[in-house]
Amino acid sequence: MPSIDVFDKENKKVSSLEIKSEIFESPVREDILHTVVNWQLTKRRSGTASTKTRGEVRGGGSKPWRQKGTGRARQGSNRSPLWRKGAIIFGPKPKEWAYKVPKKVRKNALRSVLALKFSENKIFVVDSLELNEIKTRNVQNLLKKFDLKSALIVDKDNENLYKSSRNIIKVKYINEQGINVYDILKYDNLIISSDSLNKVQEAFEN
């Protein structure tokens, strides 16, 4: 079984962690990565064009004039599509672009991207990413110790780490439960706590 080095925040090796070969030494399937990244980006997409039907246009509650005796055509609402400032017939509405990708495909994509980063030596395991205070400099120092400019940081719920990293360009913190293919590919390196790495490996067993 392969292993990966575990470092402290000062980039000093403190131990080694066994990792599963079926995850980190699996073949990299670029076709599956492409499928899942497109799926993630499509889920974020939302239509912006929107028009109002006669039930949504403000006003038009009372009849413009009485039914008979005026010589004009009968009208029930001045928000009819025939009127100026009225409703739109068959106008565009925001479209739902999302579609489904099988869970097995998503899991294989995550396995592939982890194997890719491992083969490139771009996964850095840290024994603990806990911060005692909210301070951007703490995260900047961490990146400096590992000589990194772009990194995705993965840990358990860690509000101090999230608030300390959110203002740094090319750095993002996510919860271990939200680890995903797109973010791992977007950032050059992956910094993950040893506990979170174990949790990610356990997730593949389910």
Could you tell me the domains of the chain? 3-45+97-203 (3.40.1370.10), 50-96 (no CATH)
What does the pLDDT look like over 78-111, one tens digit per residue?
999 999 999 999 999 988 888 999 999 999 999 9
The predicted structure's pLDDT at residue 205: 78
Contact status, residue 121 vs residue 31, Cβ threshold 8 Å: no
pLDDT at residue 60 above 80?
A: yes
pLDDT at 152 over 90: yes
Q: How far apart are CA 79 and CA 57, in angstroms?
A: 7
- At 40 the pLDDT is 96
Write down the pLDDT at residue 61: 85
- Average confidence (pLDDT) over 16-21: 90
What is the predicted pLDDT for the residue at 157? 86
Q: What is the pLDDT of residue 88?
A: 93
| Per-residue pLDDT at 204 | 85
Close Cβ partners of 174 (under 8 Å, ≥ 6 residues apart) = 152, 153, 154, 180, 183
Q: Is the pLDDT confidence value at 1 over 80?
A: no
